[in-house]
């Protein structure tokens, strides 16, 4: 059962860029497990134990595959939009941008709040921000705003002057 995930993991390790996992391929793999799950009530105890052990191995392989794919996204800063986890790749890159913002000496902040300029109307934690609005956001609010691509964190004006 685990060999299907191991095959994908081998493909992932061999390729330099993140490989695409089409939804149809994953659906085929999941169908095999659905069939196995539907037969569990009729399995003898020893077969259930074998299935449990096998599923633990599958979960370890899934963990390895997920880790390899996310590391590639982090290292290469690229992801396949058409893959089953394309949205996750986009979000992960946004989270990296949040981390850079939090660590950057150029980010305008006051205490635990970060100055953010909204480029679109956006709702963060129940509060609506309008296009062009500047707001001091908590770390959680900043992360949500950046993942949703609502705008950009404000940088020190001196940097903008030096960076022309």
- Among 138, 164, 8, smallest CA distance to 83 is for 8
Same domain, 80 and 120: no
Q: What is the DSSP string of 30-67?
A: HHHHHHHHHTGGGS-HHHHHHHHHHHHHHHHHHHHHHH
Number of domains in the chain: 2
Do 30 and 66 sit in the same domain of this protein? Answer: yes
Ranges of residues in the chain whose predicted pLDDT is under 70: 1-2, 159-164
Do both 80 and 7 map to the same domain? yes
Q: What mean pLDDT, rounded, does the chain reach?
A: 88
pLDDT tens digit string along 55-83? 889 889 989 988 888 888 888 877 777 78
CB distance 21 to 85 below 8 Å: yes
Which one, of 88, 82, 97, lies nearest residue 19 by Cα?
A: 82
Q: Is residue 117 part of a domain?
A: yes
Same domain as 79, residue 41: yes
Note whether 53 and 14 are same-domain residues.
yes
Give the pLDDT score at 98. Answer: 93
Instruction: Please report whether residue 142 resides in a domain.
Output: yes
Position 4 scores a pLDDT of: 85
Residues paired with 40 in a beta bridge: none
Owning domain of residue 139 = 104-162
Report pLDDT for 105: 83
Give one DSSP letter per residue of 125-145, joined into a string.
TTEEE-TT-EEEE-HHHHHHH
Q: Is residue 97 part of a domain?
A: no
Statement to judge: residues 78 and 117 lie in one domain: no
User: Does pTM surpass 0.85?
Assistant: no
Burial 17-30 (b: 16+ CB within 10 A, else e): ebbbbeeeeeeeee
Instruction: Specify whether 141 is located in the same domain as 68.
Output: no
Q: Are residues 21 and 73 in the same domain?
A: yes
Identify the pLDDT of residue 2: 67
Please report the DSSP string for 109-130 in residue order: EETTEEEEEESS-EEETTEEE-
């Amino acid at each position: 059962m685990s060999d299907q995930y191991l095959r994908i993991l081998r493909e992932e390790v061999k390729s330099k860029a993140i490989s695409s996992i089409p939804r149809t391929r994953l659906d085929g793999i999941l169908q095999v497990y659905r069939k196995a799950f539907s037969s569990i009530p009729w399995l003898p105890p020893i077969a259930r134990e074998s299935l449990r052990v096998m599923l633990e191995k599958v979960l370890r392989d899934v963990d390895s595959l997920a880790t390899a794919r996310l590391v590639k996204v982090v290292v290469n800063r690229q992801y396949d939009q058409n893959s089953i986890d394309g949205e996750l790749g986009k979000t992960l890159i946004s989270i990296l941008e949040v981390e850079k913002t939090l660590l950057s000496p150029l980010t305008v902040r006051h205490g635990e709040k970060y100055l953010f300029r909204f480029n679109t109307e956006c709702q963060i934690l129940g509060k609506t921000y309008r296009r062009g609005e500047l707001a001091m956001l908590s770390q959680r609010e900043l992360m949500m705003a950046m993942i949703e691509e609502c705008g950009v964190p404000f940088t020190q004006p001196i940097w903008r002057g030096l960076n022309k």
